Every structure is written in C-alpha cells, then in structure tokens.
Amino acid sequence: MRVLSRLGRLPLYWQVCLINGAVFVAGTLALVLSPASVSEQVVLSEALVLVVGLGVMLLTNALLLRRSLGPVDRVVREMGTVELTQPGGRLTEHGDGPGGRLVHSYNAMLDRLESERSTSNARALAAQEAERHRIAQELHDQVGQGLTVVLLGLKQVHARAPAELDAELRLVRDSTRAALDDVRRVARELRPGVLEDLGLASALAALCSEFAVHGGARVRRTIAPGLPPLGADRELVVYRVAQEALTNAARHAQATEVEVSLSRLGPEVVLEVRDDGRSTAAIVPGSGVLGMRERALLVGGRLGVEGGAGHGTTVRLALPLEETPQQSPQQIPEQTR
C-alpha cells in the first residue's frame, strides 16, 4: 500500500511507464523462470500458454491503469456536457492520485467559474435595471412632460384656430396624446413602479391587463392565496420573467390565449406562463430565455421552458422559499381575467 501511495504521487506519464514496465518485467520473468518453452514449430499447447500469458498481462495492465486514467476519461466526458447555466453537477472524487487531483481541480474550477459567472451576471443585471430606471425617468420627466406641454399648446391653438383647421388640429392632438400614452407605457415597462408601491400581485395583474390590451391575446391570471413575501429581488425576478414570457408569447408564438399562474408547491413558489401559440418540437434558447435563466439563478431558482409542435410553450420558474418565523403570509385573493 505504501508503494502504491508513493506511485500515486508521481506524474501520470511516469505512472504509465512504471506500470507497463512492471507488467512486461513480470511477463519476462514468468517466461524465464517457468518450465514453459517454445519450439521452432509452435504446437497448440505452447500457443495456448502464450495466449493465456498475453491475456493475463493485458488484464493486469488494464486494471493497474484504470485507477490512474479512469478519472481522466470521466473529466473529458463531463467537460463535453457541462452547462454553467445549470450548476450543481460535480464528479465524485476518489483517492489522492493524479486522477483524484484532476477531478478535485475540475470541481474547483467549476465552483470558481460558476461563482464568477454569478457575480458578473449579478452586476450586469443590476446595471441593466439601473439603466432601465434611468431611461424610464428620462422618458417620464423629459419626453412625457414635453409631450404634455405640446398637448396644452395645441389645446390653446385649437381654441383660437379657424374652423377649417379643426379636423387637422384634432388629428394632431390625438396623435400627440397617443404618443404620450406610449411613452408612459414604455416607462412603466422599464420601471414597474406598481411593483414597488402595491406588490407582486398587483404588478402581475397590471402586466396581464396591459398585455391583453396591447398584445392581442386573452389572458387568464391565477394568484394563489397565502403566498409568503418573496423579498424585493425575488419579486423583481418573477415580474421580469413573466414580462419576458408574455413578450415572447406575443412576438414569437403569436398566441391567442395565455395563462399566468403564481402558486406555492411545497417548499417553492412557482410561476407558470402557458400559451397556445405555435411552438417547435425543440425549444432553442435565445437571449430572452437565457436572460430569464440567469435571473432565476441569481436568486437560487430554476427556470424551465417546455414546448412541442401544436402544444404551445410553458415557461416555469421555481423559487425555493426561505421561510423565517418573522414571515407572515399575505392574503391574495384569486383573480381571473
């Protein structure tokens, strides 16, 4: 055992050389010291001895090399299938030889990559939210107020304008009012103030209502009663995932009916957005799906997207609860549109 332990500390190259050398030396000694011999015309019994000896050498060599090279193959296979967007998969570590050290280093590398990826994604998403907030503020304070001044000016002009300009001024006023409504709607989408002021249930209700008006699809929403508070970060993730799923349903799936549900299943709060739009047999993740998945990972959640030809698409976000005795569940009545 002490010899094997020392052998395990050697580089992999020298381990292979020593193992193969030991096997060949043992085979040579067996031929020299045993009564077996080979004549000029090899008979069946001699050929049988040679074949058996060769088989024993190959089997011994394979068993000795398996301990050193087996982990290398496991790491190679895992590297071909690893997904950083689906963390958690690690190889089992065995021994302290080169193979064991390789597996340990590989697992440590995955831990480091996932940590760095999570940190960079958190910074990117925080910067994205800050930029959304800034743009929404600019739209509200600059563009929105400017359009409001234009509307007031058109109203005064319309009061003093001759009758023959009435129709044209009304058209301009209606266009300006529609542009102002669009600016306010975009500002609300960029910065969901209702989420901060009234909570997740009201924000989802407003989001579904606005989607039903502008997205052209019928929306049913169901929010289960007794959901515990999720915290500002998790509520924002739920809202953004629902927003992106609804946008995809209108923009890509061309859905006519969408169902949004938020419920508690065991130790998790689950958001599901189902649509009856067109879908392919395999869902190919785009930037929208990857963005939703990154948001879910930042708060310890899981995001799945399922779909099939003729069956629509289902986006499912599961967030584990971290309940404490201080938490008091809020009563949210079921709503259906």
What is residue 134's predicted lDDT score, i.e. its pLDDT? 85
Alpha-carbon distance of 126 to 132, in angstroms, equals 10
Give the DSSP letter string of 6-20.
HHHTS-HHHHHHHHH
- CATH for 195-337 is 3.30.565.10
Ramachandran angles phi, psi of 61, nearest 5°: -60, -40
Give pLDDT < 50 ranges for the chain: 281, 324-337
What is residue 334's predicted lDDT score, i.e. its pLDDT? 37
Give ranges for CATH 3.30.565.10 in the chain.
Answer: 195-337
What is residue 326's predicted lDDT score, i.e. its pLDDT? 38
What is residue 88's predicted lDDT score, i.e. its pLDDT? 63
What is residue 332's predicted lDDT score, i.e. its pLDDT? 34
User: pLDDT tens, 78-132?
Assistant: 777 776 656 666 777 776 666 677 788 888 888 888 777 777 767 877 787 788 7
What is residue 41's predicted lDDT score, i.e. its pLDDT? 58
The answer to whether the predicted template modeling score (pTM) of the entire model surpasses 0.75 is no
What is residue 144's predicted lDDT score, i.e. its pLDDT? 82
Non-local (6+) Cβ contacts of 183 within 8 A are: 139, 140, 143, 144, 147
Whether the Cβ atoms of residue 239 and residue 319 lie closer than 8 Å to each other: no
